[in-house]
Amino acid sequence: MSKIILFSFLFLFALKLLAKDYRIADFGAKADGVTVNTSTIQKAIDYINENGGGRLIFDAGNWVTGSIYLKSNVTLHLEYGATILGSTNPFDYVKDKKIGWMSMIFAVNQENIGITGKGTINGRGFTTANNMVNYIERGIYIDPLKLDRPNETNRPQNIYFRECKNVKINDITLRDPASWNQTYDQCINLYVDGITVDSKSYWNNDGIDVVDCDGVVIKNSYFDAADDVICFKSHSAEHICQNVVVDNCVGRSSANGLKFGTVSRGGFRNFKVTNLTIFDTFRSAITFAAVDGGEISNIVVDGVRSINTGNVIYLRIGDRWSKGKKPFMKDITISNVYAEVPFGKPDAGYNYEGPVEDLPRNISPASIVGLPDYKIQNVRLKNIEIVYPGAGNPLYAKRGLTSADLDSIPEMRTAYPEFSQFKELPAWGFYIRHAQGITFENVKLIAQKKDYRPAIVMDDVQGATFKGMQYNEPESNGKKQLFYQKSENVITE
């Protein structure tokens, strides 16, 4: 008998050593969905941080909070049925002085932190954002209300971690932020696994934003967002987002699926994206934009299903906020892609649908568009099948193939990069301009209805190889599907 007791005692002790668990209720927090527990949760985090670390466990219930700061060696663990609810009072949130944004869960300069478990973080951002609008209109809070919404930095995100090391985000569900959803900024070793994101409660609701991080894994996760879904950014010209793996993720967006940018000062390097599914997405399944002087290099995307998505691939160099830095994009491989582009609006019926704009235009092609002085280099597209609706109607919008027509496409150096920005483009499958070293290998382009445009138009491309191309367009016998001007070394095998 005594042996057994001793044994269980030892066992318990061992467990405790592994991960010391603390329950938030023990600190006096209430799961009633009403009590704002900010100070109590903060106290618990501070206590665990000061006492060697451990997990702060939220049992099933609704735990309301404003801004809290996660500290080193503390993991917030949300049990199944536990929800951390964001307060709907904007004054319960801190706008962090260093970060310049509002958030529910902050961490700054911490290490070995995490948020885990099958529970939910629900920002209740629709209400919070609208409450903020009310205070701004009452004159209590100062904000220009540009586009009739508070600035993104004046609305709380669910998570904002800055300069943290060894961050683990596992299994949780993230819902309804008032701004972007979760931002990891200048973090090292970020591991995101098995999370679910439902982020379409207000404008600018991204799925996940990874900014200038080094060493990132995002896998086995599901994202549904009003704005960009899996979004890499580079806010700092001195930093770069690098060494990133994205595997087995599914995304839905009223903007872009996988996006590099828009802010792209430092850049993006060494990415491997595999087994990505994007559906019901308003803009591009994949957008890589280097518009602020940053680089994009050594990017591999392998295995993409893009179903009911407004556009498939958009690669773009711009010159927006470069401040003298020279942007470049090179060594991009995209392979094993199957995509279907619909004739109608792919995100119809979702909350905060993407804006209808850049009209009139027929269905836009995938595009690779550099600038005359900054060419996109060495792009390899392999084993790709894209089904377009076709039906480009020249009476509605037309861009012909004469030099005058092609030259009339504006460069738009300083514009916000979106696949639709040039309005009507002269191809239905791919439009490529200002590029060097483009390889198409085993690419099949299907137009479901006759289109007045050719499949591919190139302009100012040095070196392009087409191997095993298939074009499939009704009533197109004898139509020349590949057209180019001002280009050299174009090889078709």
Contact footprint for other proteins (CB under 8 A): 26-30, 34-40, 42-44, 47, 66, 89, 91-92, 131, 134-135, 137-138, 140
CB of 421 to other proteins, least distance (A): 35
Burial per residue of 304-328, b for 16 or more beta-carbon CB atoms within 10 angstroms, e otherwise: bbbbbbbbbbbbbbbbbbbeebebb
Nearer to other proteins, 25 or 108 (CB): 25
Nearer to other proteins, 123 or 429 (CB): 123
Nearer to other proteins, 138 or 146 (CB): 138
Burial per residue of 58-95, b for 16 or more beta-carbon CB atoms within 10 angstroms, e otherwise: bbebbbbbbbbbbbbbbbbbbeeebbbbbbbebebbbe
Nearer to other proteins, 50 or 407 (CB): 50
Nearer to other proteins, 28 or 394 (CB): 28
Residue 134 backbone phi and psi in degrees, to 5: -60, -45
CB of 37 to other proteins, least distance (A): 7
Nearer to other proteins, 127 or 242 (CB): 127
CB of 23 to other proteins, least distance (A): 10
Element (H, E) at 337: strand 328-340
CB of 65 to other proteins, least distance (A): 11
CB of 441 to other proteins, least distance (A): 49
Whether 54 contacts 76, CB under 8 Å: no
Q: For residues 295 and 210, give the distance between their C-alpha atoms in angstroms, rounded to a whole number.
A: 16
Q: For residues 273 and 145, give the distance between their C-alpha atoms in angstroms, rounded to a whole number.
A: 37
CB of 102 to other proteins, least distance (A): 12
CB of 129 to other proteins, least distance (A): 14
Please name the residue that has the structure tokens 């094993």: 336
Element (H, E) at 225: strand 222-225
CB of 390 to other proteins, least distance (A): 35
Whether 198 contacts 173, CB under 8 Å: yes
Nearer to other proteins, 131 or 170 (CB): 131
> Omega into 116 within 30° of 0, i.e. cis?
no
Q: For residues 389 and 377, give the distance between their C-alpha atoms in angstroms, rounded to a whole number.
A: 29
Q: For residues 25 and 57, give the distance between their C-alpha atoms in angstroms, rounded to a whole number.
A: 9
Q: What is the DSSP letter of 407?
A: H
CB of 331 to other proteins, least distance (A): 49
Nearer to other proteins, 23 or 413 (CB): 23
**C-alpha pair distances (Å), 412 with each of 118, 369, 415, 417:** 46, 10, 5, 9
Q: For residues 32 and 79, give the distance between their C-alpha atoms in angstroms, rounded to a whole number.
A: 16
Nearer to other proteins, 137 or 407 (CB): 137
Token reading at 84: 């951390």
Burial per residue of 144-157, b for 16 or more beta-carbon CB atoms within 10 angstroms, e otherwise: eeeeebbbbbbbbb
Nearer to other proteins, 36 or 105 (CB): 36
CB of 418 to other proteins, least distance (A): 31
In sequence order, what are the beta bridge partners of 491?
465
